[in-house]
């Protein structure tokens, strides 16, 4: 059995921008939240809109992967006294992330085009 290790440095531009379903959801949540996008609100936005439970580990793993692909950037806030001195990590969807989302939308639309699915 072989193992696959994710390495954004060896990805080509075309594979770097291919998005999985959850990556698309996370990027869309970042765009909806704008300046206030950090872990808790991102998770809440996804759960509210999709009805899908999201673990904080899965969310941060995806955010880290998107950042490694250059589709997302993050910054740390100053420590918050009311939170025991911890700072928040804020995320932002970059222009390359928006372009990747647009390509994903267009690919899906192309695949759906002309299909007539009837319920069984």
Question: For residue range 40-57, what is the model confidence (pLDDT) as tens digits?
Answer: 999 999 999 999 999 999
Q: Count how many domains the chain has.
A: 1
Question: Would 6 be classed as within a structural domain?
Answer: no
Question: Would 10 be classed as within a structural domain?
Answer: no
Query: pTM of this prediction?
Result: 0.81
The pLDDT, as a whole number, for residue 39 is 96
Beta bridge partners of 73: 92
Identify the segments of the chain with pLDDT beneath 70: 1-17, 83, 119-120
CA distance 40 to 56: 8
User: Which CATH number goes with the domain that contains 36?
Assistant: 1.10.10.10
The pLDDT, as a whole number, for residue 81 is 78
The pLDDT, as a whole number, for residue 104 is 96
Question: Would 92 be classed as within a structural domain?
Answer: yes
**Residue 96 CB partners (closer than 8 Å, separation 6+):** 17, 70, 71
Question: Would 32 be classed as within a structural domain?
Answer: yes
By residue range, what is the domain housing residue 91?
A: 17-77+87-110
First to last CA, the chain: 38
């Amino acid at each position: 059995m072989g193992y696959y290790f994710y390495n954004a440095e060896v990805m080509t531009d075309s594979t770097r921008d291919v998005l999985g379903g959850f990556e698309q959801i996370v990027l869309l949540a970042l765009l909806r939240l704008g300046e206030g996008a950090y872990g808790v609100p991102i998770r809440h936005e996804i759960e509210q809109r999709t009805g899908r439970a999201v673990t904080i580990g899965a969310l941060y793993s995806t955010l880290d992967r998107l950042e490694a692909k250059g589709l997302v950037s993050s910054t740390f806030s100053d420590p918050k006294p009311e939170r025991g001195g911890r700072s928040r990590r804020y995320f932002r969807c970059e222009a390359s992330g928006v372009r990747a989302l647009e390509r994903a939308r267009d690919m899906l639309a192309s695949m759906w085009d002309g299909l007539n699915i009837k319920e069984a």
